Chains A and B, each alone.
Chain A
Amino acid sequence: MSTTTRRLAATALATALGTAALSACGGGSGDGSAAEDSGKPAQKTVTLVSHDSFAVTDAVIKEFEQQSGYTVQVLKSGDAGTALNQEILTKGSPRGDVFFGVDNTLLSRALDNGIFTAYEAKGLDTVKPEFVLDAQHRVTPVDSGDICVNYDKAYFADKGIAPPQTLDDLAKPEYKDLLVVENAATSSPGLGFLLATVGKYGEEGWKDYWAKLKANGVEVVDGWEQAYNERFSGSAGGRKAKGDRPLVVSYASSPPVEVLYAEPQPAEAPTGVATGTCFRQTEFAGLLKGAKNEAGGKALIDFMIGKKFQEDMPLKMFVNPVVKDAQLPELFTKHGAVVEKPETVAPDTIAKNREQWVKTWTSLVVK
C-alpha cells in the first residue's frame, strides 16, 4: 500500500480512534501509561525486543540506565521463533533498537534476511571465541545453554537401574516407554534434541536412531510445558499431575531451577541431566537495521556482554555466560551439569536442512 493511501486511511481513522481512546481514558484505564510513551524524548529510550523468556534483575538494568543515561524499554513477543519472525516482518521499520534471542538454530534465517547492522561490541575479546559464529559481527553472542534429557532421580533409585547417560542408552530396552520429547516442529527444545541426534549420528543416520527410539516407546507432545509440567515424573508440576515419564527433554539448567523455586530448597535437586544427550544452543543479540537509537543500542549490547549482566543471567534466564571471567552462581555449580561434549550442527547446515529434517522427523515419529 502506498504511503498516501496509508495516510488517508490513518486520517480517516484518527477521529474514530480519538473517540475510542477518550472513552478508554474516561473509564479510568488510561492510567498514565500513555504519558510514559510520549513523556520522554525518543533518543533517551533504548528498546530491547526479545522473546518471553527474557529476564533481568531490576538493579542490573538500573545500573545500565544510570551509567548510560538511557531508559530501557523491553518488548517481549511470543517464543524465540515467533519473536524473530516478527523482526523479519518489520525489517527496516523495527519496533526497537536491539533484538535479543536469536539462537544458532535460527541464526541463518536472521542473517539471510538482513535484519541486523554489523557492530563489533566493546568487550567482544572477553567472549569465548567458540561462541562467535558471525565473523561480520552482525550478531553478538550473549548466552549459551544445553538442551539435554533430564531424569527423575527418585524413579531410577526406586527401580535400582542407572539413569541413561547417552543417546545410545535411550534406545536400550531398560529405558523402554520412559522418554517424553517435544514436537520438533513447534518447540525449540524439541528441535534442539532432533539436532543433537543429527550431530551425533549424521545427516542420514539420525533417521535410524529415531526409528529405534520410536520402537522403544518415545512419546511426543507439543510443547515443553506439557512435556515437563504434565508428563515428566521428576518435575514439581509433573509430580502433581501424576506424570509417568521419568525421562524428558529439557535443559541442563533445569535441576538448579527445581532447587531455586522450591520452598524449602532441597539439599539435592530431584532431577539429573544425561550429559551425553545434549545440544548446545547459543543466543545472540544484534543491532536492528533502522534502529531509532543506534548509539543506545550499541551501549546496550556492550552492557549485555559485560560482567554484571553476564553474571545476572544464570539465575534469571537459566543460561550460561559466554564471557571468560564470569562466575557461575553456587546453585549452578552445585546442582547443574557440566556438559563436556555437547552436539553441535553448523548454522548453515541447519538453515539448509531444517525444514526437510523436521518434515522427515514428523513423518517418522509423529504420524
Chain B
Amino acid sequence: MAVPLAFFGVFFAYPVTAIVGRGLKTDAGWQLGRIGEVLAEPGIAGVLWFTVWQALASTVLTLLVALPAAYVFARLDFPGKQVLRAVVTIPFVLPTVVVGTAFLALVGRGGLTEELWGVRLDTTVWAILLAHVFFNYAVVVRTVGGLWAQLDPRQEEAARVLGAGRLAAWRQVTLPALAPAVAAAAVMVFLFTFTSFGVVQILGGPAYATLEVEVYRQTAQLLDLSTAAVLTLVQFAAVAGILAVHAWTVRRRERALRLVDPALTAHRPRGAGQRLLLGGVLLTVALLIVLPLGVLVERSFDTPGGHGTGYYEALAQAGSGGGTFLVPPLEAVGNSLEYALAATGIALLVGGLAAAALTRRAGPFVRGFDALLMLPLGVSAVTVGFGFLITLDEPPLDLRTSWILVPLAQALVGVPFVVRTMLPVLRAVDERLREAAAVLGASPLRAWREVDLPLVRRALLVAAGFAFAVSLGEFGATVFIARADRPTLPVAVARLLGRAGDLNYGQAMALSTVLMLVCAAALLVLERLRPDKTSGEF
C-alpha cells in the first residue's frame, strides 16, 4: 500500500493540490470567496449545465447503442468475433486529435450522412454525442458483455422450467445479475464524457465547452489560475460523486454470482430474431466504428498521383534533414513504444500493489482508496501537467526535463485500468490457499508468487495490455511534457497536422494509421491472452 500511496501522493495529489493552491491562495491567505464569484459568472453556469446534460445524453445513447452489442458479443458466436472486439476497442485508445478528423468525414460536410440524407452534424451537439458513443462503445461491450458471457444461462432456463415466461425469466434472473455491471459501465461512460475535452473541442466548435475545456482555456491560454482552480474543484467534487456511485455499484456487484466459462455460453445465432440482432449490431459497428477508421486509412493512401504508399515512404524519409521533429517520424513509433513500456511497468507495479492491498483489506478507508485511484481519469491533463511543472522542480525530484516524466504521467492514467482488471480476479483467489501456504512456512512474498501469481498471470497480462494501449494513445499530458527530440506518435501526428501542405497532412494520416495498427496489434494480443474464466471489467 505504501508504494501506490506514495506514487499518487507525489505524482498526483501533490501536483494537483499545488496548482489549485496557487490559484486560490494569495499572500493574504486562501481566497475561498473566489469559488462563489466564479460560480456566479454568467458563462460558468452554462458550461456546467452543458457538461452535465451532454454527459447524461451521451451515456444514455451509448447504452442504447452498445447494450445489444454487449449481448451479441457475449452470447453469439460468429466468425471474426475476436478481431471485431479488438476493432471496437481501437477508438477508445486512439487520440481524439486523430479520430475527430475521421469522424468529421462521417457526419461532417460531404460526409455519409449528408450524402444519404442531407444531414450535416458537425458543430452540432449531435456530432459530440455520436462521437462519445463511438469512443465509449467498447466500455459497455467489454464491461457488460464480459459479465454477460459468464452468467450461467442454465439459471434462466431453470426459471423457465419452473413456469416463468421468457421475459419474466430474463427480468427476474438475468437482469438483476447484469444490472450492477450496466450501472458500472454507465458510470464509466458518464465519467469519460463528463470530462470530455478533444471531442468537444474538435467536433463541437467554439460554441460548446465542457468544464474540462474551460479549465484548459483558463489555465493554458488565459493563465487565470484562480478561475481554473475553482473549476477544477467543481469537477473534482462531481467526479468524486460519480466515483462514490461507482464504488457503491461495485460493492453491490460483489455478491456471489455463479460464473461459467464464456466459451460455454456462446452459441451460433438461432432463429430470425438473433440473426437480425447480429446483423443490426454488425451494421452499427460498420457504420459507427469501421467507417470513420476506414476513412483515415483511405486518406493515408490518397496521394495526389492516385492511391499509393507515397505518404508512408515520406514518413520513412522525413526528418533526415532535421527540422520539426529532429528525429524521423517513424522513430516516434519507437519512442511511443518505449514510453508505453515504461508506463506499463510503472502502472503494473503501482496498480498491482494497490490491487493486492485492496484485496487483503476491507473497510471504508480501503474503499476510499479504491475510488482515489480512479481520480486521475477525472482530472484535467493540463492541471496535472502544470502541477508537475511547479512541484517537481527541485532535486531529487527535478524531473521536469527528464524522459521519465512522460511514462509517469501516462502511468497515472494506466493505473486505474490495472486495478479495475486485477481486483475482481484477485478477490476470487481463495484466501485458504494463501493461508495454507503460510502455514507451510512460505513468506508473504513466496505465498504471493506461488499462489496468486499463477492465478492472476493472465489478468496481469490483460491489465498490461490495457495500460500499454492507453499509454500509447495518451495525448493530453504528454503534449506538455514530451521532449522535442523524443515526440510520441500522437504528438508527432498533432505536429504534422499543425502545418500546411499536402505531404504534412498525408503523413499525419499515415502516422495515425500506424498508431491504429499498433493499438490494434496490442489489443489482438490481449484478446488471445484473455483469461478463460474470470476477467476484469475491461
Taking Cβ atoms with an 8 Å cutoff, the residues of A that contact B are 1, 3, 6, 9-17, 19-21, 23-24, 26-31, 33-34, 37, 47, 50, 52-59, 61, 73-79, 81-82, 85-86, 88-90, 93, 95-96, 109, 183, 185-186, 220-226, 228-231, 235-237, 240-244, 250-251, 254, 257-258, 260-263, 316, 318, 355, 362, 366-367
Separation in Å of the A11 CB from the closest CB of chain B? Answer: 8
Set A3, A20, A244, A262: member contacting B501, Cβ < 8 A: A262
Could you list some 22 contacts between A and B, CB below 8 A?
Answer: A10-B396, A13-B10, A14-B396, A20-B346, A24-B345, A24-B404, A29-B338, A34-B404, A52-B498, A76-B484, A79-B220, A81-B220, A85-B221, A89-B389, A95-B389, A223-B201, A226-B202, A236-B505, A241-B110, A261-B499, A262-B501, A263-B305
B223 and A228 form a contact (CB under 8 A): no
Mark the stretch among B101-109, B154-162, B164-172, B368-376 that contacts chain A: B101-109
Interface positions of B from 201 to 258, Cβ below 8 Å from A: 201-202, 204-207, 217, 219-223
Looking at B204, B217, B346, the one whose CB has the most chain A CB atoms below 10 A away is B346
Separation in Å of the A154 CB from the closest CB of chain B? Answer: 14
Question: Contacts A24-B345, A33-B486, A236-B505; is A222 near B389 (CB within 8 Å)?
Answer: no
Separation in Å of the B116 CB from the closest CB of chain A? Answer: 15
A263 and B502 form a contact (CB under 8 A): yes
Separation in Å of the A106 CB from the closest CB of chain B? Answer: 10
A221 and B205 form a contact (CB under 8 A): yes
B306 at the interface (CB under 8 A from A): no
A20 and B345 form a contact (CB under 8 A): yes
B386 and A89 form a contact (CB under 8 A): yes
Separation in Å of the B399 CB from the closest CB of chain A? Answer: 9
B residues in contact with A53, CB < 8 Å:
498
A residues in contact with B338, CB < 8 Å:
29, 31
The 3 nearest A-B residue pairs measured at CB: A261-B501, A58-B322, A236-B502
A residues in contact with B274, CB < 8 Å:
none
Set A20, A221, A228, A355: member contacting B349, Cβ < 8 A: A20
A9 and B9 form a contact (CB under 8 A): yes
Separation in Å of the A33 CB from the closest CB of chain B? Answer: 5
Separation in Å of the A354 CB from the closest CB of chain B? Answer: 9
A235 to B7, CA, bound (A): 46
A240 and B505 form a contact (CB under 8 A): yes
What 0/1 readout, one digit per residue, does chain B (113-130) give for beta carbons within 8 Å of chain A?
000000000010000000
B500 at the interface (CB under 8 A from A): yes
A154 to B88, CA, bound (A): 40
Given A17-B10, A82-B480, A221-B123: 6 more A-B contacts, CB < 8 Å: A24-B407, A37-B403, A59-B322, A73-B485, A90-B400, A258-B501
A154 to B81, CA, bound (A): 47
A58 and B221 form a contact (CB under 8 A): no
A85 and B220 form a contact (CB under 8 A): yes
A145 to B350, CA, bound (A): 48
B10 and A27 form a contact (CB under 8 A): no
B153 at the interface (CB under 8 A from A): no
B307 at the interface (CB under 8 A from A): no
What is the chain B residue whose CB lies nearest that of A235? Answer: B500
What is the chain B residue whose CB lies nearest that of A30? Answer: B342
Question: Contacts A10-B396, A78-B220; is A236 near B6 (CB within 8 Å)?
Answer: no
B501 and A260 form a contact (CB under 8 A): yes
What is the chain B residue whose CB lies nearest that of A59? Answer: B322
A241 and B104 form a contact (CB under 8 A): yes
B residues in contact with A56, CB < 8 Å:
322-323
Question: Contacts A75-B484, A263-B502; is A9 near B10 (CB within 8 Å)?
Answer: yes
What is the chain B residue whose CB lies nearest that of A191? Answer: B221
B10 and A261 form a contact (CB under 8 A): no
Question: Contacts A57-B323, A93-B393; is A262 near B500 (CB within 8 Å)?
Answer: no
B402 at the interface (CB under 8 A from A): yes
Looking at B201, B305, B407, B484, the one whose CB has the most chain A CB atoms below 10 A away is B484
Interface positions of B from 13 to 40, Cβ below 8 Å from A: 14, 18, 22
A30 to B338, CA, bound (A): 8
B309 at the interface (CB under 8 A from A): no
Interface positions of B from 484 to 508, Cβ below 8 Å from A: 484-486, 494-495, 497-506
Question: Contacts A37-B403, A57-B321, A237-B505; is A263 near B341 (CB within 8 Å)?
Answer: no
B513 at the interface (CB under 8 A from A): no
What 0/1 readout, one digit per residue, does chain B (355-396) give for beta carbons within 8 Å of chain A?
000000000000000000000000000000010011101101
Separation in Å of the B210 CB from the closest CB of chain A? Answer: 13
A199 to B231, CA, bound (A): 34
Set B221, B342, B408: member contacting A27, Cβ < 8 A: B342
B residues in contact with A243, CB < 8 Å:
109
Looking at A228, A250, A355, the one whose CB has the most chain B CB atoms below 10 A away is A228
Question: Contacts A20-B350, A86-B386; is A230 near B486 (CB within 8 Å)?
Answer: no
B92 at the interface (CB under 8 A from A): no
A53 to B494, CA, bound (A): 11
A residues in contact with B386, CB < 8 Å:
85-86, 89
A356 to B502, CA, bound (A): 38
A13 and B403 form a contact (CB under 8 A): no
A242 and B345 form a contact (CB under 8 A): no
A229 to B104, CA, bound (A): 12
What is the chain B residue whose CB lies nearest that of A363? Answer: B43
Question: Contacts A20-B350, A86-B389, A236-B505; is A222 near B500 (CB within 8 Å)?
Answer: no
What is the chain A residue whose CB lies nearest that of B499? Answer: A257
A324 to B435, CA, bound (A): 82
What is the chain B residue whose CB lies nearest that of A48? Answer: B484
Question: Contacts A37-B403, A183-B206; is A54 near B479 (CB within 8 Å)?
Answer: no
B310 and A81 form a contact (CB under 8 A): no
Looking at A96, A237, A243, A367, the one whose CB has the most chain B CB atoms below 10 A away is A237
What is the chain A residue whose CB lies nearest that of B11? Answer: A13
B residues in contact with A244, CB < 8 Å:
109-110
B residues in contact with A54, CB < 8 Å:
484
